[in-house]
A and B are shown apart, each in its own frame.
Chain A
Amino acid sequence: MRSASVRSLREKFFDRLLEIAMVLLALFVLYPCYYMFEASVKLPKEFYEPLKFPSRIYWGNFHNVFAKVQIGRALGNTLLICGGTLVLLIIVASMAGYTISRNRHKLFQVLFVLFLAGMIIPFQTSMVPIYKLAQSLHLMNTRTLLVLLYTAGTIPFATMIYVGFTKGIPRELEEAASIDGYGPLRMYWLIIFPLLLPATGTLIVTTVFGFWNDFIGPLLYLTDKDKMTLITQIFVFKAERSSDWGGIFALCSLATLPLILLFIVTQKYMIKGLTAGAIKG
């Protein structure tokens, strides 16, 4: 009895020590993010003393960036593209995932394998064919093109998540609905889809960062400056004024802050979602 309590005491002590070590490590991991925010509020002349704490908070970098870059517009574009992609993706991938999970016909299993194979196609080989395609569909320089590209690129992963989650929905529900005279379409949207909301949540929090952060797509397929996204603005801004570090970091901070907020809000959801989604997939 005594030895057990000594052990648990020792274990507790060990755990406390471990926790302190982890917190220190976490601070180290957070440092680059801190550095980014710090650099964005540093006076330009203090920038080249990287370890020195800023003598005062200087908002001039943000003023500059707001004067030179149409932040509001860029943010609007980013939101539009992310939102459009998510809506389209959720509609088509949830239906496909549900069907693949439920329908035993061989056709759908083949389809699933086809989707999964799509996950490993490197985008580098497709870049020029996509240009030609976009041109012939008159989608060049449109945000719609990016929505379609992101949707197409994420369908495999999204389908995988929905396949996994559908397994957890009891079949009896569908049978009961069928008896009540629900057609497949009504049944899906009124009964199944609401039950798949956790999957949808998972999908949103795991993929939205990728859409938000992509820069090659907008850089290659959008020519109009008014349609550029926030992240692409950083790349362009850096190419144009690469010695204006304060401005670059201010822009980086502006582009990252919404994501951090989103992440903190959805963090719990995300971990739960990963349990169900990634593993059952």
Chain B
Amino acid sequence: MHPTRKGLVYGIAFTLPALIIFLMFTFYPFVSSLYYSFTEWDIVSKPKFIGLDNYRNLLEDKLFIRSAVNTLTICLFVVILQNPLSLLLGLVLNKPFRSSYFLRTAFYLPLIVSLVVVSVTWSNLLQYDGVFNELLIRLGAENLIQDWLGTTSSALSSIILIQLWYGTGYGAVIYLAGLQSIPHEVYESAQIDGAKGWSKFRFITFPLLMPSFTICTFLGMVGALKFFEMPYIMTNGGPGDATSTLALVIYNFAFKNNTFGYATAAGILFMIAISIVTAFQLKLTRSKEVEY
């Protein structure tokens, strides 16, 4: 299809159904919520225009700021801990093990389980009289037992741990796919040049895996920034604000506090933040990708 008149007409006809559905059910609801961000609105009565007040208040709202900090913490762990773990796992899974089919299935499996089920199961494992504490008692570490999700100091780390369990396999499979698409000739010529072990990884494998790295980091970051279901079901952001995330606090502003205008303003700030972070990340990692 060359950019001819006919091509253009058919092109439009081909893209129109997707565009209409997308505009109506994703884009329009978002755009129509923009106006509410400048209003004081409790969902049930008429919105009252208040200009930029919501945005001004948000920048001073400690709960909002702490939720942002929590979200960034989760994001950071995903990028600097989960991502390398995924890479490592991908490298190991690429070895010709006899059990590799089993291993791939096992590590990917958490991801297909519903977050509702994940949350129910993990809450149960981590509760005060659950498996985890029971194990600690049998290991003689009785002084360590606590209500893991109900203690201010351990709630967020517990959730991050569950996220690691949940998400590492996904990245690993993407890396695995990347590894399998590297042509054998590349390694063969490297062998001749005497590249081995770490240097082989550092100078050959990793640069060629850059596209996987980009996509993995992108998906991981967007996922972490939009982190919602786990705290929503397991802790509802508590104790206090220990596990409150941006997505959750926006939901709570809207429904718990009846301040929908405020929540929308927070949503918009949230979206701007995601755009900036991901654009920056894409630019940074894309520039390091190489062709082969």
Per-residue CB contact flags for chain B residues 157-175 toward chain A (1 = under 8 Å, else 0) read: 0000000010001000110
> By the criterion CB–CB under 8 Å, are A129 and B117 in contact?
no
> By the criterion CB–CB under 8 Å, are A95 and B17 in contact?
yes
Is there a chain B Cβ closer than 8 Å to A108's Cβ? yes
Is there a chain B Cβ closer than 8 Å to A115's Cβ? yes
Interface SS majority for chain B: helix
> By the criterion CB–CB under 8 Å, are B109 and A215 in contact?
no
Say whether, besides A122-B226, A122-B250, A231 and B30 are in contact (CB < 8 Å): no
Is there a chain B Cβ closer than 8 Å to A128's Cβ? yes
> By the criterion CB–CB under 8 Å, are B211 and A279 in contact?
yes
Q: How far, in angstroms, from A22 to B113 measured CA to CA in the complex?
A: 21
Say whether, besides A30-B106, A155-B26, A275 and B178 are in contact (CB < 8 Å): yes
> By the criterion CB–CB under 8 Å, are B263 and A124 in contact?
yes
> By the criterion CB–CB under 8 Å, are A104 and B222 in contact?
no
**Size class of the contact patch on chain A:** 35 or more
Say whether, besides A30-B109, A51-B131, A95 and B14 are in contact (CB < 8 Å): yes
Per-residue CB contact flags for chain A residues 82-121 toward chain B (1 = under 8 Å, else 0) read: 0000001001110110111011110110010011011111
> By the criterion CB–CB under 8 Å, are B215 and A122 in contact?
no
> By the criterion CB–CB under 8 Å, are B28 and A133 in contact?
yes
**Size class of the contact patch on chain B:** 35 or more
Residues of A within 8 A of B109 (CB): 29-30, 33, 260, 263
> By the criterion CB–CB under 8 Å, are A48 and B129 in contact?
yes
> By the criterion CB–CB under 8 Å, are B177 and A278 in contact?
yes
Is there a chain A Cβ closer than 8 Å to B10's Cβ? yes
The B93-143 residues at the A interface (CB cut-off 8 A) are 93, 95, 97-99, 101-118, 120-122, 124-125, 129-131, 134-135, 138
Per-residue CB contact flags for chain B residues 24-56 toward chain A (1 = under 8 Å, else 0) read: 111111101100000000010000000000000
Is there a chain B Cβ closer than 8 Å to A58's Cβ? no
Which of B1, B105, B124, B222 sits near A119, CB closer than 8 Å?
Answer: B222
> By the criterion CB–CB under 8 Å, are A256 and B177 in contact?
no
Per-residue CB contact flags for chain B residues 188-220 toward chain A (1 = under 8 Å, else 0) read: 000000000000000000000001100100000
Residues of B within 8 A of A107 (CB): 8, 11-12
> By the criterion CB–CB under 8 Å, are A19 and B112 in contact?
no
> By the criterion CB–CB under 8 Å, are A126 and B29 in contact?
yes
Residues of A within 8 A of B176 (CB): 271
Which of A96, A119, A124 sits near B251, CB closer than 8 Å?
Answer: A124
Is there a chain B Cβ closer than 8 Å to A267's Cβ? yes
> By the criterion CB–CB under 8 Å, are B271 and A121 in contact?
yes
Is there a chain B Cβ closer than 8 Å to A80's Cβ? no
Residues of A within 8 A of B25 (CB): 130, 133, 148-149, 151-153
Q: How far, in angstroms, from A215 to B228 measured CA to CA in the complex?
A: 12
Per-residue CB contact flags for chain A residues 249-281 toward chain B (1 = under 8 Å, else 0) read: 100100110011011100100111011001101
Is there a chain A Cβ closer than 8 Å to B231's Cβ? no
Is there a chain A Cβ closer than 8 Å to B274's Cβ? yes
A-B contact pairs, 23 of them (CB 8 A): A29-B165, A30-B109, A33-B113, A36-B121, A96-B14, A100-B15, A105-B3, A117-B275, A124-B228, A124-B250, A124-B254, A125-B33, A128-B33, A129-B29, A133-B24, A152-B26, A252-B120, A252-B121, A263-B112, A267-B101, A270-B173, A271-B180, A279-B215
Contact surface of A with B, Cβ cutoff 8 Å: 15, 18-19, 22-23, 26-27, 29-30, 32-33, 35-36, 39, 48, 50-51, 88, 91-93, 95-96, 98-100, 102-105, 107-108, 111, 114-115, 117-122, 124-130, 132-133, 148-149, 151-153, 155-156, 159, 174, 184-185, 188, 209, 212-213, 215-216, 231, 234-235, 238, 245, 248-249, 252, 255-256, 259-260, 262-264, 267, 270-272, 274-275, 278-279, 281
